[in-house]
Amino acid sequence: MLTSRERVAKALNHQEADRVPLDLGGSAVTGMHASSVYLLRQAHRLDPAGTPVKVVEPYQMLGEIQPDLLEALGVDVVGLPAPKGTFGFKNENWKPWTFFDGTPLLVPEAFNTDPEPNGDILMYPEGDRSAPPSARIPNDGFYFDTLIRQPPIDEEKLDPADNLEEFGPVSAEDLAYFAAEAERLYSQTDKAILANFGNTSFGDIALVPAPWLKHPKGIRDVAEWYMSTVSRRDYVLKVFEGQCEIALENLPRLYAAVGDRASVIFMSGTDFGQQTGTLISRKAYRQLFQPFQRQLNDWVHKHTPWKTFIHSCGSIRALIPDFIEAGFDIMNPVQTSARDMDPQALKAEFGKDIVFWGGGVDTQRTLPFGTPDEVRAEVKERMRIFGPGGGFVFNSIHNVQARVPVENLLALYRAVKDEGCYPL
């Protein structure tokens, strides 16, 4: 029987293993909302009722997937995240908090749990309430919305360096953290490690507003940034050039710290698609994004055994050849519900050139609103389509959301276990 690390390695090399490998919680786009984690743990009788779940990614309210749940579900991947989250504080000094739906949670000390008069929860960069809030979770909501803090734009004074203030040399403290955590995960588990060092996603719109910065400068409004990729293209190119230069200086230091312990590096989380098509033309992608992505991927492939991971939601069928040309090894979340993202066609056309990490079940419709039988049937179908020949790591299409019926959660992972063995 293969170890999880060996199983994932075969999938990444387009080889069939004993079964299709499974990811849950290996990254901030392959996890599960904390309230659903709680339901799943209770259903597996891993905790007494009322035992809180740690919120390890506060922006999306993702819950910790502890080792006992990893083993119960047969998960093959663990994540190596950056030491600080989207709001700029560490996951430490945990405190209890009850979510709007009654789920008992533990949140980091810097996480604000004091509601506004209307019941909303505001979040502050680095947990500093003397700074303007950078995100809001509405009363009875489930996720944070970024608050745009766009300073007035003076075209004469607009400086690309303002959009580079969050980038810089990786610190000695962070290098020590990555080295120690990689060693712990490698030696104490048999799981494949998915590392997210940060700062390699060009124009990731979730990060453009910089909710971890107290007073962000430059172009930080979402709509303004998207328009700037056309109206201020030279500016955006200079931002990407600076970011790429910094990343190329950091990657050798990160590899020296982590070495071959990591199997995969999360390289890009920039979304290029919507439900019905791409957000950008192929020409614009090739001019604006691909050259910088290729430089980073080329360095990784030349100097490390790591495989590179791109996350992009939506209908991105038209851009997949360009992702492959840019050197990406893995594509996620494989949003099969979007236009032109038929799983059979994707596997036939691109299955030999890129690994599909996701696409296992639709989290927009089937998982939250279908029956357990419908969930099982979809999982079985996706295994049959994506599994042959390897090149497939099972994950839901993006994070498992809140308010998914526990019966559907159980059906999902039971089907993965039942249907994932080769030959499919």
Q: Is 17 exposed, middle or buried (0-12, 13-18, 19+ CB in 10 A)?
A: buried
Average pLDDT, the chain: 98
Type of residue found at 361: V
In contact, 163 and 199? CB cutoff 8 Å: no
pLDDT score of 86: 97
pLDDT score of 174: 98
pLDDT score of 171: 98
Q: From its phi and psi, is residue 327 left (phi > 0), alpha (psi between -120 and 50) or beta?
A: left
Q: Which two tokens stand for residue 81?
A: 């995240």
In contact, 331 and 357? CB cutoff 8 Å: yes
What is the per-residue pLDDT across 14-52, written as a single tens digit (0 to 9) for each? 999 999 999 999 999 999 999 999 999 999 999 999 999
- What backbone torsions phi and psi does residue 105 show, to the nearest 5 degrees? -130, 165
Is the peptide bond between 216 and the residue preceding it cis, with omega within 30 degrees of 0? no
Q: Per-residue pLDDT averaged across 393-411, rounded?
A: 98
What is the per-residue pLDDT across 148-182, written as a single tens digit (0 to 9) for each? 999 999 999 999 999 999 999 999 999 999 999 99
Q: How far is CA 183 from CA 122, 136, 186, 349, in A?
A: 36, 36, 5, 38
Task: Decide if pLDDT at 285 tops 90.
Answer: yes
Q: Per-residue pLDDT averaged across 259-277, rounded?
A: 98
Biggest CA–CA distance in the chain, Å, is 64
Nearest to 247 by CA among 212, 299, 211, 206: 299
Q: How confident is the model at residue 331 (pLDDT cuts 50, 70, 90)?
A: very high
* pLDDT above 70: percentage of residues in the chain: 100
Q: How confident is the model at residue 1 (pLDDT cuts 50, 70, 90)?
A: confident
Beta strand residue intervals within 64-178, DSSP E: 77-80, 95-98, 104-107, 121-123, 135-137, 145-146
Of 3.40.50.300, 3.20.19.10, 3.20.20.210, 3.30.365.10, the CATH number of 4-32+68-86+153-419 is: 3.20.20.210
What is the per-residue pLDDT across 339-390, written as a single tens digit (0 to 9) for each? 999 999 999 999 999 999 999 999 999 999 999 999 999 999 999 999 999 9
Q: How confident is the model at residue 208 (pLDDT cuts 50, 70, 90)?
A: very high
Task: Decide if pLDDT at 146 tops 90.
Answer: yes
Distance CA 318, CA 84 (A): 34
What is the per-residue pLDDT across 81-109, written as a single tens digit (0 to 9) for each? 999 999 999 999 999 999 999 999 999 99
Q: How confident is the model at residue 77 (pLDDT cuts 50, 70, 90)?
A: very high
Helix (H) / strand (E) element for 293: namely helix 290-303
Q: Provide the CB-side half-sphere exposure for 180 (13 A, CA).
A: 8
Distance CA 420, CA 379 (A): 9
pLDDT score of 26: 98
Distance CA 377, CA 391 (A): 21
